[in-house]
């Protein structure tokens, strides 16, 4: 059976950078590691440009890192069957242009069609992973593909060279120092506990800053531009622009530029603790071998708290301090005695938290990686066994 050679990935930037962050990572990996000609359809090139500065914001079609990037302007247009790729992925239930779907139905052999879903640690995901969904009118079937944390899901996105790159970086203090220095971090700031902070604006940043400020040990908090701007500005006493820095008590807060995706990985690898959010940075923190705190994307009716608890039940079932801090950080419970005792209990468990980061990574690696799992299932579908 011929291997698939082309793939179209449709991505809409709903909000923030996560959706394009994930799709860009997946597109690159499918191209680099599996030799597939990927076309990434993106509606918002400006957001894409933030995480990948090579992206031209006014181009209809461009080639970046071996991936064809097409500006997805609207739902119009007719397509010929031979314009359709072997594999078609819609990210997170986006509506593919009707003309493209009609061409999918005409193509022989038909493409294998996936809806790639969002990440959740909830148990129902296992039951829905790879379920078929027949098209209501056309002779086409779409398969739901769920990333996840168990062997009964699609696993997590992870490049095969990641280990080597991270280990080379983390084992070379001079490289870590030079990377941080390029971002403006001084030697004095590097000597403190280094924390990166990426969260949504409603995170209780000021409470945490107070705890760090009044603590016994120095903390350097590195905040990318645009993150929790009001609370960061209140601490700084000036606009939270890249390069802005202020020390109060034991805490130094420094604003970093928003960096390209590979440098964001390095930032996570360079820090002792990472606050991450959404989906993509959350997964990247899991590959940094460092403790992390997740700020989950808020949903109606506090559904995100259910998802957060599902993840904590898997990751932090015996880590009380991580559970408490995470639940308070996400507003699922009140920080009763304030942030200082919460932080102290967490900081006291840092060694145990680091050990968990190692164990967790090994556990996740056993599930394979999302790109390879997707291609394996695609082969299964094409062979008629699904």
Catalytic center residues = 19, 279
Instruction: Work out whether 148 is an interface residue with ligand TRH (CB under 6 A).
Output: no
In the list 7, 9, 11, 17, the residue contacting ligand TRH (rule: CB under 6 A) is 17
- Contact region with ligand TRH (CB under 6 A), list: 17-25, 99-107, 171-179, 363-371: 17-25
Least Å distance, CB 262 to ligand TRH, is 8
273-277: strand order across its sheet? 245-248, 251-256, 219-224, 193-197, 273-277, 292-295
**Smallest gap, in angstroms, from Cβ of residue 13 to ligand TRH?**
8
Contact between 189 and ligand TRH (CB under 6 A)? no
**Angle CA 137–153–165, to nearest 5:** 120
Q: Among 169, 183, 372, 361, which Cα is nearest to 284's? A: 361
259 binds ligand TRH (CB under 6 A): yes
Applying CB under 6 A, which of residues 66, 118, 184, 242 lies at the interface with ligand TRH? 118
CB–CB of 113/140 below 8 Å? yes
How is 205-263 classified by DSSP, letter by letter?
Answer: HHHHHHHHHTSSS-EEEEEETTSSHHHHHHHHTS---TT-EEEETTEEEEEEPPPPHHH
Of 4, 21, 97, 111, the residue at the interface with ligand TRH (CB under 6 A) is 21
Size (the chain), residues: 386
When asked if residue 281 is in the footprint of ligand TRH (CB under 6 A), the reply is yes
Cβ-proximal residue to ligand TRH, closest one:
18
Can you tell me the distance from the alpha carbon of 323 to that of 177, in angstroms, rounded to the nearest whole number? 31
Instruction: Indicate the residue among 106 and 122 with the shorter CB distance to ligand TRH.
Output: 122
Cis peptide before 109 (omega within 30 of 0): yes
b/e 229-238 (16+ beta carbons within 10 angstroms → b)? eebbeebbee
CB 132 within 8 A of CB 157: no
Nearest distance from C-beta of residue 350 to ligand TRH, angstroms: 23
Query: Is 297 an interacting residue with respect to ligand TRH (CB under 6 A)?
Result: yes
* Residue 78 beta carbon to ligand TRH: minimum distance, rounded to whole angstroms: 31
Measured CA to CA, the distance from residue 58 to residue 55 in angstroms comes to: 9
Contact segment (CB under 6 A) with ligand TRH among 2-10, 96-104, 275-283, 371-379 equals 275-283
261 forms part of the interface with ligand TRH (CB under 6 A): yes
Smallest distance, ligand TRH to C-beta of residue 48, A:
10
Q: Does 51 bind ligand TRH (CB under 6 A)?
A: yes
Question: How, if at all, do strands 6-11 and 37-42 pair?
Answer: parallel
Is 224 an interacting residue with respect to ligand TRH (CB under 6 A)?
yes
Q: Which of 123-131, 280-288, 368-376, 378-386 is the region at the interface with ligand TRH (rule: CB under 6 A)?
A: 280-288
| Nearest alpha carbon to residue 159 among 27, 308, 354 | 27
Pairing assessment for the beta strands 219-224 and 251-256 based on DSSP bridges: parallel
Q: In the complex, what is the shortest distance from the CB of residue 292 to ligand TRH, in angstroms, rounded to a whole number? A: 11
Nearer to ligand TRH, 90 or 279 (CB): 279
Which residues of this chain interact with ligand TRH, rule CB under 6 A?
A: 14-19, 21, 51, 118, 198, 224, 258-261, 264, 277-282, 297
């Amino acid at each position: 059976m011929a291997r698939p050679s082309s793939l179209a990935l449709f991505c809409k930037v709903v909000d923030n950078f996560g959706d394009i962050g994930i799709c860009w990572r997946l597109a690159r990996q499918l191209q680099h590691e599996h030799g597939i000609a990927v076309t990434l359809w993106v509606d918002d090139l400006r957001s894409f440009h933030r995480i990948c500065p090579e992206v031209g914001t006014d181009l209809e079609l461009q080639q970046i890192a071996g991936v064809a990037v097409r500006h997805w302007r609207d739902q119009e247009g007719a397509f010929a069957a031979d314009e359709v790729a072997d594999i078609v992925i819609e990210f997170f239930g986006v509506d593919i242009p009707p003309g493209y779907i009609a061409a999918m139905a005409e193509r022989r052999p038909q493409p294998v069609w996936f809806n790639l879903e969002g990440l959740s640690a909830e148990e129902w995901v296992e039951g829905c992973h790879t379920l078929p969904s027949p098209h209501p009118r056309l002779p086409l079937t779409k398969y739901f593909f769920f990333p996840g944390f168990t062997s009964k899901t699609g696993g997590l996105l992870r490049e095969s060279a990641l280990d080597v790159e991270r280990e080379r970086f983390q084992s070379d203090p001079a490289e870590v120092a030079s990377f941080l220095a390029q971002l403006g971090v001084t030697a004095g700031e590097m000597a403190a506990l280094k924390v990166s902070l990426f969260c949504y604006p409603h995170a209780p940043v000021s409470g945490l800053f107070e705890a760090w400020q009044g603590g016994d040990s120095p903390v350097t908090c590195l905040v990318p531009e645009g993150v929790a701007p009001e609370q960061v500005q209140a601490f700084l006493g000036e606009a939270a622009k890249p390069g802005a820095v202020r020390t109060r008590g034991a805490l130094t807060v420094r604003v970093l530029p928003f960096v390209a995706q590979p440098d964001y990985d390095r930032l996570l690898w360079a820090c002792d603790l990472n606050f991450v959010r959404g989906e993509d940075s959350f997964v990247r923190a899991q590959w940094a071998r460092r403790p992390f705190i997740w700020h989950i994307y808020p949903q109606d009716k506090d559904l995100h708290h259910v998802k957060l608890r599902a993840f904590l039940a898997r990751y932090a079932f015996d880590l009380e301090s991580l559970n408490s801090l995470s639940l308070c950080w996400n507003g699922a419970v009140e920080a009763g005695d304030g942030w200082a005792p919460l932080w102290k209990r967490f900081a006291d468990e840092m060694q145990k938290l680091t050990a968990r980061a190692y164990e967790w990574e090994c556990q996740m690696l056993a599930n394979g990686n999302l790109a390879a799992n997707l291609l394996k299932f695609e082969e299964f579908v094409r062979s008629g066994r699904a």
